Structure 1
């Protein structure tokens, strides 16, 4: 998902320049690796790009940005025998842009043993919905935004399914598509960002998005990895929040993304439970 009021400098690469930019970046199809090496490819939006951890850094192509800190991706890469051959995740990526990156990384995907990604949140304009339901919005704006979100869910699910089917056809590896956490804690009542009632409304939309992503795996070999459990009681306004929120700067691009603790204590254990190294060639 994208951060609220993201500066225009965080716009993603266009479809026309994606493949060329990858070539400039020096990414070529991967050669056949040693049988004991687990080739790992990461794709997706800002939740796979590590926004919220470290600082903003350039990604593999112009206009693509990632977080520089520790995440579930770096933790997986650190596992014995695992080699991250390509990290094509970009903050703000739509499902279409994830598909473009997957096409550009066809060589790496053809030799991948493991693929992780997150997608769908930007197609739903979740960041815009949060803005509409925040203390800066209005009741009417929140109602309109959430209604639009619910109406868009079937199309988002169809887009996610199309991308997952594409990646499934591109790689023989295990594919794990990651869900999204509930960003907002409601246990402590109203919060700086919004009322508890609006937070509950948005959490229900997140739950529905996750159900759609899970259903989008049907007919593919992709496995859905939920993270609602690990992030329970760790949303914004919780006593121990794992979601980054800079109240002093609502335009901070890291807002509404997991912190380093969220990635390492929330996402990583959930994903690690689905990674069986002995079945991936190690």
Structure 2
């Protein structure tokens, strides 16, 4: 049953996501390895606006989702969750990161609180996703990023094995997968919105390159889904990327209304390719969880109460000083991942039991 950006674009010397930090200056802000430990799940509190002169109201946190429908059966005492893919699968932005490399603080940023994790016992979760992962890292090792800004040029941060190799022997009852955005260098495109004289929304070359990369992505995704489906018998829930920007009603720091819409369209187009790849897959256990697309609606990066790590002045200063804060920008907060989990539960309640 099937249910219903751009690689290498305008790369700069600085990391693409660092450019996105400057790009979003002026937006509101709210406060992401192997299987996690038995730590109890906690929710990080949202950071208050440091410019406010009155007592700030905390960003609301969605209620803990409860499994329903077939998901209630599959998440029982013996339910085992495998998480594969990139930063949006790993839980980048949700804190409580567990090492992918034993005893080392690494750039995978595998959180204890990614989407779907609240539905399973912590000891029954294998979070094998890794920030910066592409479709190729499902079947090939991934070189990690250097997390220490003072490290020398010869520093080797190490590698992690292919995610499907790490999965061997775990035998999950459910797999959650999010991948594809890094194939397109989405952060690099947002950086172009800042650095180019011509607004990115008016740059036909950038738009054409994005379209070209998106058209090439579908075949990679189909191959990736086939590899995952062949490795497990469990349902594989493909999560789209949550829309990070609400419909704009004005400029957001240095990001114009037109550029916010450009970002919205890019995410929508990326999700359309992901959905099409799922529909094209011949694997019977691959499903597209469309409900997650709007999980952050009303709480986007430029909203008063964001469920996304956006960037005000304080956030930019932290990002300039901290590898972790820099990497978390434009990723959901713990509240954002809880909202994504809630939408996954709603989706499961409305769909038949996977066969």
Q: Structure 1 length as normaliser, TM-score?
A: 0.77
CA distance in 2, matches of 1:3, 1:268: 28
2:18 alignment partner in structure 1:
5
Q: What corresponds to 2:198 in structure 1?
A: 139
Runs of 4+ in 1 over 3 A off after TM superposition: 60-64, 273-276
Displacement after TM superposition at 1:108 (Å): 3.6
Answer 1 or 2: higher relative contact order, Cα 8 Å, separation at least 6: 2
Match of 2:242 among 165, 168, 181: 181
Indicate if the aligned counterparts of 2:83 and 2:175 stay in contact, CA closer than 8 A.
yes
Check 1:41–1:264 CA distance in 2 against 1; reply closer, same or farther (3 A cut).
Answer: same
- Measured in 1, the distance between the counterparts of 2:113 and 2:211 equals 33
Residues 239 and 107 of structure 1: CA distance in aligned 2, closer, same or farther (over 3 Å): same
Q: Deviations over 1:70-92 (max 9, x none)?
A: 3324312249xx821x2111011
Cα distance in 2, alignment partners of residues 236 and 44 from structure 1: 23
Distance in 2, Cα, partners of 1:275 & 1:108:
26
What's the secondary structure of 2:265's corresponding residue? helix
| Aligned-partner Cα distance in 1 for 2:240–2:101 | 24
C-alpha distance after superposition, 1:11-53 (max 9, x if no partner): xxxxxxxxxxx8xxxxxxxxxxxx9612211111000111111
Contact kept in structure 2, 1:124 and 1:149, CA below 8 Å: yes
Bigger fraction of residues in strand: 1
Aligned match for 1:58, one of 70, 74, 99: 99
Q: Whole-Å Cα distance in 2 between the matches of residues 245 and 108 of structure 1?
A: 38
1:181 CA displacement: 1.7
In 2: Cα distance, 1:41 partner to 1:70 partner: 13
**Is 1:244 aligned to 2:309, yes or no?**
yes
Q: Can you give the 5+ residue segments of structure 1 that lack an aligned partner in the other structure?
A: 7-21, 23-34
- Whether the 8 Å CA contact 1:243–1:258 is kept in 2: the answer is yes
123-132 or 216-225, which moves further after superposition? Answer: 216-225
Task: Give the Cα–Cα distance (whole angstroms) in 1 for the partners of residues 251 and 130 of structure 2.
Answer: 32
Query: 1: CA distance between counterparts of 2:119 and 2:139?
Result: 22
Q: Please point out which of 223, 229, 242 is paired with 2:287.
A: 223
Q: Distance in 1 between matches of 2:302 and 2:199?
A: 24
1:271 to 344, 351, 354: 344
Question: How far apart in 2 are the matches of 1:105 and 1:57?
Answer: 15
Q: What is the CA-CA distance between 1:56 and the residue it aligns to?
A: 5.1
Matched residue SS, 2:215: helix
Alpha-carbon offset, residue 69 of structure 1: 5.4
In structure 2, the residue matched to 1:26 is none
Q: 1:247: Cα distance to partner?
A: 3.4
| Structure 2 unaligned spans of 5+ | 6-14, 20-33, 35-75, 141-161, 321-325
Find the partner of 1:151 among 212, 234, 240: 212
Aligned residues: 247
Residues 195-252 of structure 1 show CA distances to partners (whole Å, capped at 9, x for unaligned) of 1101111211111110110111122231111222222222111122111023332551
Q: Residue 253 in 1 paired to residue 330 in 2?
A: no
- Could you tell me how far apart the structure 1 residues matched to 2:77 and 2:119 are? 16
- TM superposition shift of 1:151: 1.2
TM-score (norm 2): 0.62
**Cα 1:155–1:133 shift into 2, 3 Å:** same
Q: Deviation at 1:184?
A: 2.1
> Cα offset for 1:5?
3.1
Answer whether contact 2:98 2:112 (CA < 8 A) is retained: no
2:127 corresponds to which residue? 87
